[in-house]
């Protein structure tokens, strides 16, 4: 989300709603209610707002990942010297990998919302635990990638490649923290109310799923 503002599936089985839009059930119901002249109660309005937010988040992260890949391929092709792009290509790959995890997460949240459920399957939670640790491993081997680039380029380094690689890696670290530890982006009034009330950062969106839920905290964990 951080990089989205600046600019697959984790399931082992095909999702139940894979052959239809993720939010089809939810919006079919809301559309039929409006057509009948009915009014939405508070819970239904909250559900509609959440659905719109989840859809915005996953499409934003997907667009960011796509843009990064397109710009990387276009830039490397224009220069024509692929050895000058090894470091930054790796860092962009790590960023895109984390963004894809975010896309999967928000799509799953949207699916659960349409099914009137709250909790992700245990298998999916285990996958995100695995991704959390894998991300740090990928970030941590960045110096090894620089070394490989140095060897491949004949014991010389492209300084622009290294500096841009470090910049993109910083973006990957921020995304990792934002989703798996503490929320770093506060773009809604609800977010700011939370900051003002609790005087601390909220847990990251995926971090909430990986942390055992405390009774009475359901409202805190929906976003």
Per-residue pLDDT reduced to its tens digit, 108-133: 999 999 888 888 999 999 999 999 99
> Rg of the Cα trace of the chain?
20
- Percent of the chain whose predicted confidence (pLDDT) is above 90: 55
Q: Quick one: pLDDT at residue 222?
A: 52
Give yes or no for a contact between 93 and 167, defined as CB atoms under 8 angstroms apart.
no
- What 9-13 contacts at long range (C-beta under 8 Å, 24+ apart), as own/partner pairs, is 9/104, 10/101, 10/104, 10/105, 10/108, 10/124, 10/127, 10/128, 10/131, 11/108, 11/121, 11/123, 11/124, 12/123
**pTM of the entire structure?**
0.76
Q: What does the alpha-carbon distance between residue 137 and residue 223 come to, in Å, rounded to a whole number?
A: 27
For residue 178, what pLDDT is reported? 95
| pLDDT for the residue 202 | 87
Higher-confidence position of 184 and 207 = 207
For residues 86-100, average pLDDT: 97
16-42 tens-digit pLDDT: 333 344 445 555 555 554 554 444 444
Burial-class residue 14 by CB neighbours within 10 Å (0-12, 13-18, 19+): exposed
In 3-state terms, what secondary structure has residue 182? strand
Backbone angles phi, psi at 218, to 5 degrees: -60, -40
Measured distance CA(124)–CA(130) in Å, rounded: 10
pLDDT at residue 15 in the model = 36
Alpha-carbon distance of 160 to 181, in angstroms, equals 31
Q: Please, is 153 exposed, middle or buried when counting C-beta atoms within 10 Å of its C-beta (0-12, 13-18, 19+)?
A: middle
Cα separation, 174 vs 180, in Å, equals: 10
The pLDDT tens digits for 36-61 are 444 444 455 478 888 998 999 999 99
């Amino acid at each position: 989300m951080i990089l989205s503002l600046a600019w697959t599936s984790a399931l082992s089985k095909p999702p139940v709603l894979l052959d239809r839009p993720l939010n089809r059930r939810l919006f079919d119901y809301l559309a039929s209610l409006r057509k009948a002249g009915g009014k939405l109660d508070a819970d239904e309005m909250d559900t509609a707002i959440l659905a719109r937010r989840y859809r915005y988040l996953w499409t934003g992260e997907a667009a960011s990942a796509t843009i990064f890949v397109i710009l990387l391929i276009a830039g490397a092709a224009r220069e024509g010297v692929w050895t000058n792009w090894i470091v930054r290509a790796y860092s962009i790959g790590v960023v895109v990998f984390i963004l894809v995890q975010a896309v999967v997460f928000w799509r799953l949240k949207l699916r659960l919302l349409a099914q009137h459920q709250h909790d992700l399957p245990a298998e999916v939670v285990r996958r995100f635990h695995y991704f959390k640790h894998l991300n740090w491993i990928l970030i941590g081997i960045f110096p090894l990638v620089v070394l490989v680039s140095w060897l491949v380029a004949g014991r010389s380094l492209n300084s622009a490649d290294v500096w841009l690689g470090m910049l993109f890696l910083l973006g990957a670290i921020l995304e990792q923290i934002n989703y798996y530890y503490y929320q770093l982006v506060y773009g809604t009034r609800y977010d700011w109310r939370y900051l003002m009330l609790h005087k601390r950062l909220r847990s990251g969106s995926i971090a909430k799923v990986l942390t055992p839920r405390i009774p009475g905290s359901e409202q805190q964990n929906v976003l």
